[in-house]
């Protein structure tokens, strides 16, 4: 195995413990890797403005993979190194399919997250308690989502929806799979569905960044815990599943580390990077 030069870390359930904290040991491991010259980046389903400051303000963190790989941003220059958005017609068809199922629907457009005023006020109880502050502070409320999408036809990165029950989520999932089978469908937390353009997920986004940096897949490590991490764990030269990862992710990973409440990220960096 070649020396690791690029480390992609999922956030919720991976870097962050259940209290949404980066523990001192994990923070020290990330800092040590950066000081060694290894690029360490958040690889998240969130928008770029939704990446917690406690991660991106670590000295040396330069890149952020966001919206499940739809964009990779150079945090120093603001340049989008990867930009894989929806076709405008497909985005409108997707919206028409998911809208009747309700739920807390957010659409990621050009690095920002948008929802309707009505949705924001009626659906917050669907959001897990430890994520409500994130939703409150990162969602922009607009009166008409159709109009918002029409005004930004080539900048739509992702649909993110939380449902009141798994049954409603599963029904919506089946409807999307039937009507728009080309979409990438994933889930990152319970009762959640995330939709990206065809072929767009964390894995291809991460590999596109690696190529941009002149790296091979053998020089890339990816760490994750849930469905939207699968492709990056599969495609990285070293795919690491958290101890709390779903069985699906543990099955495709090369190795399994400790869980997110016991410094699994630190353990992986210490063992395979430092």
Cβ atoms < 10 Å from Cβ of 120: 19
For residues 68 and 45, the answer to whether their CB atoms sit within 8 Å is yes
Say whether 88-196 and 6-83+201-272 share the same fold: no
Predicted TM-score of the model (pTM) = 0.88
Alpha-carbon distance of 185 to 247, in angstroms, equals 18
User: Options 3.10.310.10, 3.40.50.150, 3.30.1330.120, 3.40.50.1000; which CATH number does 6-83+201-272 get?
Assistant: 3.40.50.1000
Q: Which sequence spans correspond to the domains of the chain?
A: 6-83+201-272, 88-196
> Which residue do the tokens 């359930």 mark?
13
Q: Report the pLDDT value the prediction gives residue 222, as an integer from 0 to 100.
A: 98
Q: Is residue 122 very low, low, confident or very high in pLDDT (cuts 50, 70, 90)?
A: low
pLDDT tens sequence across 181-233: 999 998 887 888 999 999 999 999 999 999 999 999 999 999 999 989 999 99
d(CA 138, CA 123): 15
Q: What is the pLDDT of residues 129-188, one digit of tens each?
A: 777 777 777 788 898 888 999 999 899 999 999 998 999 999 999 999 999 999 999 888
Q: Please tell me the distance from the alpha carbon of residue 46 to that of residue 123, in angstroms, as a whole number.
A: 18
Break the chain down into helix, strand, coil percent, rounded to 5: 40, 25, 35
- Tell me the C-alpha distance between 193 and 105, whole Å: 10
pLDDT of residue 195: 96
Give residue 1's pLDDT band: very low, low, confident or very high (50, 70, 90).
low
**121 CB-near residues (< 8 Å, 6+ apart):** none
pLDDT digits (tens, 9 = 90+) for 247-257: 999 999 999 99
Question: From CA 142, how far away is CA 148, in angstroms rounded?
Answer: 8
Euclidean distance between CA atoms 240 and 243, whole angstroms: 9
DSSP state of 16: B
First and final CA of the chain: distance in angstroms? Answer: 14
Residues forming beta bridges with residue 8, ordered by sequence position: 41, 222
Instruction: Say which DSSP state 242 is in.
Output: -
Tell me the sheet residues that pair with 71.
66, 83
Tokens of 225: 């815990």
CA distance 210 to 8: 10
pLDDT tens-digit readout, 76-111: 999 999 999 999 999 999 999 999 998 889 999 998
- Nearest alpha carbon to residue 187 among 204, 199, 201, 175: 201
Look at residues 119, 35, 83 and name the one whose alpha carbon lies nearest to residue 197: 83
Torsion sign over Cα 30, 20, 48, 53: negative
Give yes or no for residue 128 having a pLDDT over 80: no
Three-state secondary structure call for residue 235: helix
**Which residues have a Cβ under 8 Å from the Cβ of 105 and sit 6 or more positions away?**
98, 99, 115, 116, 119, 123, 145, 159, 160, 161
- Tell me the fold of 88-196: 3.30.1240
The answer to whether residue 55 scores a pLDDT higher than 90 is yes
């Amino acid at each position: 195995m070649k020396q690791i030069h690029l480390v992609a870390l999922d956030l919720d359930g991976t870097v962050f413990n259940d209290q949404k904290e980066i523990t001192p040991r994990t923070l020290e491991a990330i800092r040590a890797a950066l000081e060694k010259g290894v690029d360490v980046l958040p690889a998240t389903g969130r928008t770029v403005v939704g990446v917690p400051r406690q991660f991106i303000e670590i000295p040396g963190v330069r890149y952020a993979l966001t919206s499940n790989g739809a964009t990779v941003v150079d945090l120093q220059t603001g340049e989008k190194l990867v930009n894989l958005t929806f076709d405008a017609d497909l985005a409108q068809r997707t919206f028409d399919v998911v809208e009747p199922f309700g739920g807390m629907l957010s659409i990621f457009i050009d690095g920002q997250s948008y929802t309707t005023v009505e949705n924001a006020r009626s659906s917050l109880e669907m959001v897990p308690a430890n994520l409500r502050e994130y939703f409150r502070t990162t969602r922009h409320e607009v009166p008409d989502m159709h109009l918002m999408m029409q005004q930004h036809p080539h900048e739509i990165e992702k649909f993110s929806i939380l449902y009141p029950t798994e049954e409603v989520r599963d029904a919506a999932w089946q409807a999307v799979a039937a009507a728009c089978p080309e979409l990438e469908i994933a889930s990152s937390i319970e009762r959640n569905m995330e939709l990206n353009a065809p072929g767009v997920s964390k894995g291809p986004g991460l590999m596109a960044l690696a190529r941009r940096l002149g790296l091979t897949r053998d020089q890339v490590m990816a760490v994750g815990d849930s469905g939207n991490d699968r492709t990056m764990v599969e495609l990285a030269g070293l795919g690491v599943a958290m101890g709390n990862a779903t069985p699906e992710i543990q099955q495709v990973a090369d190795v399994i580390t400790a869980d997110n409440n016991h410094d699994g990220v630190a353990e992986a960096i210490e063992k395979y990077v430092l």
